[in-house]
Chains A and B, each alone.
Chain A
Amino acid sequence: MPHDHSDHLSPSGHPYRADNDEPLSYWQTMEIAVRELLIEKGVSTAAEINAQIDAMDARSPADGAQVVARAWTDPAFRERLLANGSDACREMDFDIGALQLIAVENTRDTHNVIVCTLCSCYPRNLLGLAPDWYKSREYRSRTVKEPRKVLSEFGVTLPDTVQIRVHDSTADMRYVVIPARPDGTDGWSAEALAKLVTRDSMIGTGLAKTP
């Protein structure tokens, strides 16, 4: 049965979290009121709002993984990605919007990690919405001060010979990490490589999976 507005499914075909039976909160009341006022005033439509939700839902770390895998396998693309992250992602038909996206590359002696100390800026157009911990006081406060310790809490322990660079994002300037390509993947296709690229490896709180 085709779904309607009240039975809105995500692109994966799953319903949204079943929270509609919980008591109505003040802020939920405000969301409904603001949304209905915007529709009544002709600023937006229910269809446009649903389409925007679907567009955001369609974004996921799998998009970023494709970009990373191509950078690993296509040296000319890697150069373009490092020179202008937004344009290189647009080349692959990802809708980066007006964001200035800066790709930073992990190497044998440098590890990059991204944070937004002031709010929650995140490469959302490439990776989807940020996880809760990225927006937490603990991550925002400590990543710029003791990044090695924060990374160790994610299970990432780097030798002292590896320099850690922390990139503090702003509303207009978002970073994405190109993790180091794992050893033992020579000759792999971009498609196979993309499966090794996790969300956290593109934030810098993880490494790409090893084969």
Chain B
Amino acid sequence: MTDFDGKRWHDMGGADAGPVVPAEHDFALWEKRVDALMVLCSTKGLFTVDGLRRAIEDMGPDVFENTTYYDRWIAAVNQNLIEAGTYTLGELGAKMDEVAARGDTYGQAARG
């Protein structure tokens, strides 16, 4: 890593980049749910905003291009909850299998 400039990938301030694209979208229900889970879990003291950021920063640079904002957030929320002992990796895996088996769309899998 001879070209490492001392900054991790998330530390973007001052880097070169293209024009700002004025993109916006209405947040989807699943995104709002992720946001709500983050706020509720941090309010309840299960982890902190810094814990969320640490998990996102540890995902590495590719994740910024290959995932959406709330993809990263739910991954980071999940990481922190497992670390906090709220549930186990095994419980998560079993639950995700159960959810995925409910159907092919978000509406079916979330049952609304």
Chain A contact residues, CB within 8 Å of chain B? 4-8, 16-17, 19-25, 27-38, 41, 43-44, 48-49, 52-53, 56-57, 115, 117-120, 129, 131-133, 135-142, 144-145, 150, 153-154, 168, 171-172
Contact = CB atoms under 8 A, between A and B. Distances in A.
A31 B28 contact: no
Interface string B13-45: 111111111111111111011111101110010
B105 interface: yes
A53 B32 contact: yes
Nearest to B84: A43
7 contacts: A7-B112, A8-B112, A17-B25, A24-B103, A29-B99, A34-B37, A153-B19
Among A17, A33, A48, max chain B CB count under 10 A is at: A33
B41 A140 contact: no
Contacts of B27: 16-17, 129
Contacts of B30: 19, 28, 31-32
Contacts of A142: 15-17, 20
Nearest to B49: A171
User: What does DSSP make chain B's interface, helix, strand, loop or mixed?
Assistant: helix
Given A28-B106, A38-B37, A132 B24 contact: yes
Interface residues of B, number: 66
A25 B109 CA distance: 10
Contacts of A132: 23-25, 69
A172 B50 CA distance: 9
Contacts of B36: 49, 52-53, 56
Contact of A31 (B21, B64, B74, B81): B74
Interface of B: 10-30, 32-37, 39-41, 44, 46, 49-50, 53, 56, 64, 67-71, 74-75, 77-78, 81, 86-87, 91-92, 95-96, 98-100, 103-112
A37 B92 contact: yes
Contacts of B11: 117-118
A29 B64 CA distance: 20
Given A23-B104, A24-B100, A136-B23, A44 B40 contact: yes
A17 to B, nearest CB: 5
Contacts of A21: 105-107
Given A24-B105, A28-B106, A43-B44, A56 B14 contact: no
B23 A133 contact: yes
Contacts of A29: 96, 99-100, 109
Given A30-B75, A32-B109, A35-B37, A138 B86 contact: no
B71 A27 contact: yes
B19 to A, nearest CB: 5
B112 A140 contact: no
Nearest to A171: B49
Contact of A28 (B40, B53, B109): B109
A118 B13 contact: yes
Contacts of B91: 37
A138 B37 contact: no
